[in-house]
Amino acid sequence: MKEFKLYLIVLTSPFALLFALAEIRADYALYQHVRDYGLSATAIVQSIENASFSGSAEGGRKVRYLLDLPGPALIDGSAHMSKRAADRYAPGQEIEIVYAETNPAHSALSVSHAWSAVVSDLIVFGAYAAVLALVIALIRTSPNKTWRPSRRTWAR
């Protein structure tokens, strides 16, 4: 049963790695846009929500903000942060954000906040890659590999 779980991890890993790489790519594109074409603006905090899959407070907070630009552009963005950092904000409060002039959909609290999202994605990717390497090493050094017949089987 232990080997089955290890094989399951290896078989599902390409999907997890592709998802992680897509997140890194998206966050890096956001960082590049706000770094190269960023304009500062004042947005309004809409809500502060729990930011985890289960809805518990352990996953930090998501601060949602709204900025109505002249013309058809409406920035409806969010920023993930720790509970301590999110406690500085309240619904209805005005905050400074940075958005890309070329594409207002690309927005962040600041250029450094966008960069920290890229770094956290890279840390998660590295940790997952290390676990995957460990699983592969465990499978390769397993004394009874079920996918290869032993010599005793052939001798019978």
pLDDT at 105: 82
Residue type at 69 in one-letter notation = L
Sole residue written with tokens 């390409």 = 14
Buried b (16+ CB within 10 A) or exposed e, 80-106: bbeeeebeebeeeeebebbbbeeebeb
What would the mean pLDDT of 66-70 be, rounded to a whole number? 85
Average pLDDT of the segment spanning 107-126: 91
The H-or-E segment that residue 96 falls in is strand 94-100
More confident residue, 128 or 56: 128
Banded pLDDT at 82 (limits 50, 70, 90): confident
With bands split at pLDDT 50, 70 and 90, how would you rate the model's confidence at 154?
A: low
Highest mean pLDDT among 49-53, 65-69, 143-147: 65-69
Non-local (6+) Cβ contacts of 67 within 8 A are 41, 42, 43, 44, 74, 75, 77, 97, 99, 107
Position of tokens 């601060």?
Answer: 63
Task: Please give the Cα distance from 107 to 74 (Å, whole number).
Answer: 11
The C-alpha atoms of residue 147 and residue 86 are separated, in whole angstroms, by 51
DSSP character at residue 93 = -
